[in-house]
Amino acid sequence: MAVDKSRTTPRTQQHRNIEAVQADANPEKSAAMSQSASSLTRSWAKFYWEQSNSRIHPGRQRDLTIAYVEPTDRGYLSIAPTRTHSHPLAAQNTIARHTMDREIRRMRAAKASRSCRRLTHTTDCTMLKTRVIAARDLTPDHANSWREIQDEHPLLSSPHFSPEIAKIFGSVRPDSAVCIVEQDGQHVGFLPFHRDSQSRASCIGRHLSDFQGAVYRPTFDWNTKEILRRVKIKRLNFTDWVVPEREFQAAALVTHQAPHIDLSQGFEAYRIERRQHTRELQEGLRKTRKISRDTGPLRLEPYCEDKKVLSQMLKWKASQLKSNSQWNALRIPWTDSAFHAAMDIRTPAFAGMLTALWAGDQLVAATMGIRSRSVLHGWVIAYAPEFRKYSPGLMLILKLAQQCESLGIERIDMGRGDEFFKTSFASGFTEVHDGLIDADPLNVWLHNVKVHVRESLRNTWLGRPLKTIVERARFATSRTA
Give the model's pLDDT for residue 471. Answer: 61
Query: What is the residue-averaged pLDDT of the chain?
Result: 75
- Distance of alpha carbon 237 from alpha carbon 437, whole angstroms: 6
Give the model's pLDDT for residue 17. Answer: 36
**Which range among 25-39, 59-73, 370-384, 401-415 shows the weakest confidence by mean pLDDT?**
59-73
Beta strands 77-84 and 215-216 are unpaired
**Which range among 35-49, 287-301, 437-451 shows the weakest confidence by mean pLDDT?**
35-49
Q: Which residue has the higher pLDDT, 70 or 409?
A: 409
The pLDDT confidence band at residue 382, using thresholds 50, 70 and 90, is: very high
Q: Let me know if residue 95 belongs to a domain.
A: yes
Angle at 467 between CA 462 and CA 470, to 5 degrees: 125
- In this predicted structure, the answer to whether residue 210 has a pLDDT above a threshold of 60 is yes
Q: Which residue has the higher pLDDT, 118 or 190?
A: 190
| Domain span holding position 459 | 440-481
For the chain, how are helix, strand and coil distributed in percent, rounded to 5? Answer: 50, 25, 30
Give the model's pLDDT for residue 101. Answer: 62
- In this predicted structure, the answer to whether residue 38 has a pLDDT above a threshold of 90 is no
Q: Let me know if residue 65 belongs to a domain.
A: yes
Q: How many CA atoms lie within 13 A of 328 on its CB side?
A: 22
Using one digit for the tens of pLDDT, what is the confidence trace for 419-448?
Answer: 877 888 888 898 888 888 887 778 878 877
Cβ count near 456 (within 10 Å): 11
- Cβ pair 67, 80 in contact under 8 A: yes
Domain count, the chain: 2
Highest averaged pLDDT of the listed ranges 59-63, 225-229, 322-326: 225-229
**Which range among 21-25, 137-141, 418-422, 463-467 shows the weakest confidence by mean pLDDT?**
21-25
- Distance of alpha carbon 467 from alpha carbon 457, whole angstroms: 10
- Distance of alpha carbon 185 from alpha carbon 193, whole angstroms: 23
Using one digit for the tens of pLDDT, what is the confidence trace for 84-96?
Answer: 344 444 434 444 4
Q: Let me know if residue 16 belongs to a domain.
A: yes
- Cβ pair 258, 211 in contact under 8 A: yes
- Cβ pair 179, 229 in contact under 8 A: no
Q: Which of 261, 259, 222, 220 is nearest to 244 (CA)?
A: 222
- Distance of alpha carbon 74 from alpha carbon 454, whole angstroms: 78
- Distance of alpha carbon 192 from alpha carbon 176, whole angstroms: 7
Cβ count near 210 (within 10 Å): 22
What is the mean pLDDT of the segment spanning 256-274?
91
In order of 186, 249, 309, 344, 433, the CA distances from 437 in angstroms are 27, 11, 41, 35, 12
Q: Which percentage of the chain shows pLDDT scores above 90? A: 34
Cβ count near 416 (within 10 Å): 20
- Assessment of whether the complete model's pTM goes beyond 0.85: no
- In this predicted structure, the answer to whether residue 193 has a pLDDT above a threshold of 60 is yes
- In this predicted structure, the answer to whether residue 158 has a pLDDT above a threshold of 50 is yes
What is the mean pLDDT of the segment spanning 252-279?
87
- Distance of alpha carbon 265 from alpha carbon 413, whole angstroms: 16
Q: Is the dihedral of CA 350, 354, 359, 361 positive or negative?
A: negative
Given 120, 147, 179, the domain boundary residue is 120
Give the model's pLDDT for residue 16. Answer: 38
Q: Let me know if residue 48 belongs to a domain.
A: yes
Given 105, 120, 135, the domain boundary residue is 120
Strand runs labelled E in 342-427: 351-359, 362-371, 375-383, 411-413
- In this predicted structure, the answer to whether residue 366 has a pLDDT above a threshold of 80 is yes
Give the model's pLDDT for residue 365. Answer: 95
Q: Which percentage of the chain shows pLDDT scores above 70? A: 68
The pLDDT confidence band at residue 456, using thresholds 50, 70 and 90, is: confident
Cα 305 vs. chain centroid, distance in angstroms? 33
What is the mean pLDDT of the segment spanning 63-81?
40
- Distance of alpha carbon 76 from alpha carbon 203, whole angstroms: 66
| DSSP codes of every residue in 84-107 | ESS-GGG-S-HHHHHHHHHHHHHH
Q: Let me know if residue 331 belongs to a domain.
A: no
- In this predicted structure, the answer to whether residue 414 has a pLDDT above a threshold of 70 is yes
All residues at 6 or more sequence positions from 44 whose CB lies less than 8 Å from its CB, including other chains: 10, 66, 67, 68, 69, 100, 103
Residue 123 per-residue DSSP state: S
The pLDDT confidence band at residue 322, using thresholds 50, 70 and 90, is: confident
Q: Let me know if residue 474 belongs to a domain.
A: yes
| DSSP codes of every residue in 222-286 | --HHHHHHHTT--EEEEEEE-S--HHHHHHEEEEEEEEEEE-TT-HHHHHHHHHTT-SHHHHHHH
Q: Let me know if residue 91 belongs to a domain.
A: yes
Q: Let me know if residue 222 belongs to a domain.
A: no
Given 120, 154, 171, the domain boundary residue is 120
- Distance of alpha carbon 126 from alpha carbon 56, whole angstroms: 26
